[in-house]
Amino acid sequence: MGWALAVQGGAGGISPSMPPELREPRLATLRRCLDLGGAALRAGRPALDVVELVVRELENCPHFNAGRGSVLTTDGTVEMEACIMEGRTLRCGAVAGVSTVVNPVSLARVVMEKTPHVFLAFNGAEAFARGLDTKDARYFITDASIERLRQEKEASKVQLDYTQPTKGQSPQETPPPTDGNSRIGTVGCVAVDSAGSLAAATSTGGYPNKMIGRIGDTPIVGAGTYANTLCAVSVTGRGEQVIRHTVAHDVAALMEHLGLPLRDAAARVVASAPRGSAGLVAVSAEGEVCMVYNTPGMFRACITENGHTEVGIWADTGL
């Protein structure tokens, strides 16, 4: 079926009433990612290069919760996470607790290629990042992220997914948002190139008002990110639930051990996770694309060699 690429910009309680001025910049970035990634795949670049290229673009967009758009911890600091994985070799790299690196996904790739390790975090990751593009806190800590944290502290809770803070309610009880502008949600990309090689990459800023030192599913291989010779998967949602359900790896396991096609495997895994907790994008070695979620919406997009293109948020609308 040829090459294929899928992108996600976070799943959660994304309301159809989200104003255009909040929705359109995100959709425009997803379309730009399809153009960028599609051109790279058409030019014969390997899947590993393409997923890094696309996730860097998402990290540079202030409208998504990764890189420049990362949300703040309870102490008003940034702690970013990222992971990248190559399916053919199972090589992978991950970072967490990063506070100055402009593109954490590229640091994760350097960990994969330049160290004997898989995962570096906090001070060790920051020290290893010397030579990469870094910025001081002013680049990441914006008026918007400060206001987001203020709202979370006022509501006395951490903010999950795209839900708005509401006083007196737990994260599980939070109603759909009024405008969906919490900027919560992992970003990620999966790709299969013309040689059939697969790769996945995921990046996030975590939850607003999260505890210092909290690490979610994004950098955990098999939870938020996974690739082998059968498929590549990038997950978004409630990190603790994604970790408990090993969402990314389970898709590959169902394909390998039960012989399920990608769509069936992904649908079964997401359906088995608690409702409202997970979404994913995935591609198979044959170029099949799957974008599935059990939340009200998920920012997502895909492009394939045979000309299929899709950009969407909700299941029952034109977007």
- Give yes or no for a contact between 46 and 18, defined as CB atoms under 8 angstroms apart: no
Within the chain, residue ranges assigned H as helices are 20-42, 47-59, 104-114, 122-128, 137-140, 143-155, 239-244, 247-258, 262-272
CA distance 69 to 80: 10
Q: What are phi and psi of 172, to 5 degrees?
A: -70, -25
97: part of which helix (H) or strand (E)?
strand 92-98
CA 140 to chain centre: 18
Query: What tokens does 86 get?
Result: 């190559």
- Give yes or no for a contact between 263 and 280, defined as CB atoms under 8 angstroms apart: no
3-state secondary structure of 82: strand
* Residue type (1 letter), 248: A
- Give yes or no for a contact between 27 and 317, defined as CB atoms under 8 angstroms apart: no
Active-site residue, from 29, 73, 100, 186: 186
Listed residue (181, 160, 165) closest to 20, CA to CA: 181
β-pair partners for 101 = 134
Q: Is 77 in the active site?
A: no
* 122 HSE (CA, 13 A, CB side): 4
CA distance 93 to 305: 28
3-state secondary structure of 4: strand
Catalytic residues, by residue number, are: 186
